[in-house]
Chain A
Amino acid sequence: MSQAPQPPGAPVVRREGREKVTGTARYAAEHAPPGCLYGWIVPATVPGGVVTATRTADALAVPGVHTVLTPDNAPRLEDPDDPILSVLQDDRVPHRGWPVALVLAESLEAARAGAAAVRVEYRTTGHDVVLTGDHPGLYTPEQANGGHPAVRERGDAEAAFASAPVRIDATYTLGGLHNHPMEPHASTARWADGHLTVHDSSQGSTTVRDSLARALGIDKDHITVISEHVGGGFGSKGTPRPQVVLASMAARHTGRPVQLSLPRRYMAAVVGHRAPTVQRVRLGADREGVLASVSHEIVTHTSTVAEFVEQAAVPARVMYASPHSRTAHRVTALDVPTPSWMRAPGEASGMYALESAMDELACALGIDPVELRLRNEPAAEPDSGRPFSSRNLAACLNDGARRFGWHERDPGPAARQEGPWLLGTGVASATYPVLVSKSAASAHAAPDGSYRIGVNATDIGTGARTVLAQIAASVLGTPPENVRIDIGNSDLPAGSVAGGSSGTASWGSAVHKAATGLAGRLAGRTGPLPPEGVTVTADTARETGEESPYARHAFGAHFVEVAVDSLTGEVRVRRMLGVFAAGHILNSRTARSQFIGGMVMGLGMALTEGSTMDPVFGDFTENDLASYHVPSCADVPDIQAHWIDEDDPHLNPMGSKGIGEIGIVGTAAAIGNAVRHATGARLRTLPLTPDKLLPYLP
């Protein structure tokens, strides 16, 4: 690696890459303090009701079993900030899989055997776990996820739709989806001298610390949460999960360190999921394709434990100009696990429907779908009227079309065949908001000329350490190798969650500010530094507290070629090409990984990832990686990510927009649109597995 200062965007190699690939990077379940007990959760095996008896004698008789925690003997929690953390506090079973006991043993094997020996008796009540578009329990919530109003109306969408010369009225159905990061959720907790230290697989250990302090009723200063390396989260580790509360509670109760990791099969019940949605989109346009009315209406589920509303209608408030619009969410609380964040909540699901509907409109009009989108570019954000800080959707569409060879296509359906394969191409837009949260950072200059940055960022596989070092190094005018980065520890200056594609902006702004302050202090000095060096701390409370007068969003465009096997209905993607406009890209190597990773996840959403809610048992049927089909390497074709550099002064000192999620937004629509082009079949339910395609094949 070069020892010179690196230009912005340089493809600096991931700092901890060697530790990860050689197995020396230690994850939350790879810390085993002396005397550690291992936990195994006993999940409820009924979909709703109450526990009437928990018989633990057989479990306690299993050699090695130390303790069985149940609501009868578990430590009392204060009122947790998230009701899903209120575990072992009462006898209620809100859904199948809810933890009803925790077995602690000298080995993982003994804990598992003990858990199998716990006898739980239930009184079941009726259960209702299946979402339908007309579910009687549907209501309009106050807000959808992200604090967005549940309903927004502009003009008279209904009337404008009714009088539009060209109308699309289509309903799209998405089942549940699961995050399934490679590293399951895990926590290792120990108490020593009144201080709780937890290694937790989380996307934000400051948040976990604060949440534990509240739940356990102790001071934040008495808790340290460490998330040094995290094997992915995709939102499921963005909020504390029951295992961290259970491990901490159990460590306090037993006086021993406790490790608790969630088995893969159990994750769907407790780590959140992307809620299923039924989405009705109505587009009314004139014969030139200019939109008069856009309606996007969402039906989704939440649990009886907490309200989470997938904000799938929100992107329609951003995307296209139209004088009349209605975007609305309704939700019903079912006896299901509580949904939560999964990569681009709202955008990933909502843009599938909106961008499929735009394709339907293009087909109905006989207008090229790229051109249709260009004709509906808004001058300002349609919902708010605020000017865009920058908006380069058109540039992404045009650049992508050129790179992909889009305009050579015959727009007619089912026009290309190659042996048994029906070939087609599709396009869709992408968008993701610019989010930023308050963070703090410290910057330290040592007498030997090296620098040390501290910020409680979390690297969930994104390359956060690396890019933060680049940001600090560029401010300090030093090579990144000369900057040590400490992250992943709640004792560091508080950092926000690695979520909402906001990490680099949030932590990076604090790092930039602290490093700038440090550079100023150093510039004013003469002579050698004192032995203790010089330290500057900064936080971004002021900067992040001001609402921007601009509508700030990243945009992108996906182009896809698919081949559909005319005998089997198997859909295989041949090429995927994404072009993104997300401010300045700060590290081209790790950024490309983020974009491509999102696109692959979108491929899974489109083609392979299917989840079934079992109406009788109330759980998700596909609960291992053999049955929940994330894309395999063989599914991922020629895949390219490109970007358009944006010079947007309204973002943050780095000029960056978030890139962790936009790759998944719109991908499924582009694939679905390509399948329609290949076959002539417009399918409105994902994933596009052979059973769905077969009825439409020649």
Chain B
Amino acid sequence: MKPFSYLRPRSVAEAVRAGAGHPGARFLGGGTNLVDLMKLGVESPGLLIDVSRLPLDRVTRTDDGGLRIGATVRNSDLAAHPGVRSDYPALSQALLAGASGQLRNTATTGGNLLQRTRCPYFQDVSKPCNKRLPGSGCPAREGAHRDLAVLGHSQDCVATNPSDMAVALAALDATVRLHGPEGERAVPLTGFHRLPGDNPDQDTVIRPGELITEVVLPPRPDGAVSLYRKARDRASYAFALASVAAVLTVRDGRVQHAALAFGGLAHRPWRARAAEDVLRGAPATDETFARAVDAELEAAVPLRDNGFKVTLARNLAIGALAGLTARAAPPR
């Protein structure tokens, strides 16, 4: 491990100043991914700015009834928060579907959004990877890619975003608040992560020196129910083969509001806008759900060994929408 400096700032401003002064700096949250990557030689920051003890560890109500989640709130605490459990169960379920109890106790909200792909080639510095070493090539396209992307990938990169939490946040229309050398800004979560294109080394739209300070959830739409469902190779402590977060409001047998996002399929949480367009105003039936999901997954371009993900995502989404409908439209 390359020697590095360590700094524990007392305020967001101090953290951002420190980051701006050191191009090779990394913000350290729970360290559950960054420290691994340092051991693997994938990351070798000259300076670690430990933001885990900044006063960003609160979950509070916003004036409009939404939720403001500090960037250092631990995944376990967020999953257990009564406001999350009551109004945003998909988020709680997504968090609990991720990692292990020990990791969730340590991992932070901001860090979770910035975790890197678990593509095996990205994690092995003895092999090419365009994300780690731009221009070196992508062996995954022809190599081991069962767990990798079917949507939105490029010639240069077929990696997937590994986060469960981000998938729920995408469906819940969350906003990410950033604090950087040029001030503060807000980015919708669905625009926070990028598609790989020809520069897959950039996972997100975050700018140099910017720090995630909080994630803001809008109020739950009236009557909306939500869930997160993940399929994986073992019952716990495995990344999603595919997952779905769904938010649904059904009135008089018709879909009033629907938000759908997929995990495990792409370089970012995949908000399913095409499916939502089909769903909105349509009868809340299995036939509609299948049509909607197919409209979205039409864009899938599976690789040699991961075509099953399309079927899996389809089944998960239709099942989720049907399950929510049963709950969303109880007999009145």
Binding site for B on A (CB under 8 A): 45, 109, 112-113, 116, 265, 420, 565, 567-570, 572, 607-608, 610, 612, 614-617, 621-623, 626-627, 629, 631-635, 687, 689-691, 694-695, 697
Contacts and interface: CB of A to CB of B under 8 A. Distances in A.
Contact of A616 (B142, B234, B315): B142
A635 B120 contact: no
A381 to B, nearest CB: 38
B251 interface: no
Interface stretch (B194-202, B217-225, B235-243, B254-262): B235-243
B303 interface: no
B281 interface: no
A106 to B, nearest CB: 14
Contacts of B239: 626
Contact of A690 (B127, B142, B237, B308): B308
B126 A633 contact: no
A565 B125 CA distance: 37
B9 interface: no
B319 A614 contact: no
Contacts of B125: 116
A622 B238 CA distance: 13
Interface string B126-144: 1100000000000100111
Q: Give chain B's interface residue range (CB within 8 Å of chain A).
A: 20 to 34
A675 to B, nearest CB: 15
Given A45-B126, A568-B315, A617-B143, A635 B234 contact: yes
Given A567-B319, A626-B118, A690-B308, A608 B144 contact: no
A120 B188 CA distance: 47
B63 interface: no
Contact of A689 (B143, B233, B316): B233
B236 A632 contact: yes
B235 A632 contact: yes
A621 B147 CA distance: 12
Interface string B84-96: 0000000000000
A112 B1 contact: yes
B6 to A, nearest CB: 14
B234 A694 contact: no
Contacts of A621: 120, 143-144
B332 interface: no
B146 to A, nearest CB: 7
Contacts of B41: 116
Given A109-B1, A621-B120, A635 B236 contact: yes
Interface of B: 1-2, 40-41, 100, 118, 120, 125-127, 139, 142-144, 146, 231-239, 241, 306, 308, 311-312, 315-316, 319
B143 A614 contact: yes
Contacts of B319: 420, 567
Contacts of A631: 234
Contacts of B126: 45
A211 B220 CA distance: 68
Given A113-B2, A629-B238, A691-B308, 18 more contacts: A112-B1, A113-B1, A265-B40, A567-B315, A567-B316, A570-B231, A614-B144, A617-B127, A617-B139, A621-B144, A622-B120, A632-B100, A632-B237, A635-B235, A689-B233, A690-B308, A691-B241, A691-B312
A632 B126 CA distance: 30
A695 B308 CA distance: 8
Contacts of A572: 235
B191 to A, nearest CB: 29
Q: Among the interface residues A621, A632, A633, A687, which one has the most CB atoms of the partner chain B within 10 A?
A: A621
Contacts of B139: 616-617
30 contacts: A109-B1, A567-B315, A567-B319, A568-B312, A569-B312, A608-B233, A608-B234, A612-B144, A612-B146, A614-B143, A616-B142, A621-B120, A621-B144, A626-B118, A626-B237, A627-B118, A631-B234, A632-B100, A632-B234, A632-B235, A634-B234, A635-B234, A635-B235, A635-B236, A687-B233, A691-B241, A691-B312, A694-B308, A695-B308, A695-B311
Given A616-B142, A691-B146, A633 B236 contact: yes
A262 B319 CA distance: 45
Given A607-B234, A635-B235, A690 B118 contact: no
B241 A690 contact: yes
B232 A570 contact: yes
A576 to B, nearest CB: 14
A663 B234 CA distance: 20
B181 to A, nearest CB: 31
Contacts of B144: 612, 614, 621
B2 to A, nearest CB: 6
A569 B319 CA distance: 13
Contacts of A689: 233, 241
Nearest to A617: B127
Contact of A634 (B120, B231, B235, B312): B235
A44 to B, nearest CB: 9
Contacts of B234: 607-608, 629, 631-632, 634-635
Contacts of B2: 113
A615 B142 CA distance: 10
A564 to B, nearest CB: 12
A505 B41 CA distance: 47
Given A45-B126, A629-B233, A635-B236, A616 B118 contact: no
Nearest to A619: B124
A118 to B, nearest CB: 12
Nearest to B40: A265
Contacts of A629: 233-234, 238
A267 to B, nearest CB: 15
Contacts of A610: 233
A116 B241 CA distance: 33
* A-B pairs, 7 with minimum CB distance: A634-B235, A634-B236, A568-B231, A691-B308, A632-B236, A567-B315, A621-B144
B163 to A, nearest CB: 14
Nearest to A63: B3
A633 B102 CA distance: 13
Contacts of A116: 41, 125
A121 B178 CA distance: 45
Given A570-B231, A627-B118, A616 B308 contact: no
A627 B120 contact: yes
A45 B41 CA distance: 15
A265 B41 CA distance: 13
B312 A690 contact: yes
A113 B38 CA distance: 11
Nearest to A572: B235
A633 B236 CA distance: 8
B17 to A, nearest CB: 29
Contact of B143 (A109, A420, A616): A616
A113 B308 CA distance: 41
Contacts of A627: 118, 120
A123 B207 CA distance: 42
A255 B141 CA distance: 48
Contacts of A690: 231, 233, 241, 308, 312
A368 to B, nearest CB: 30
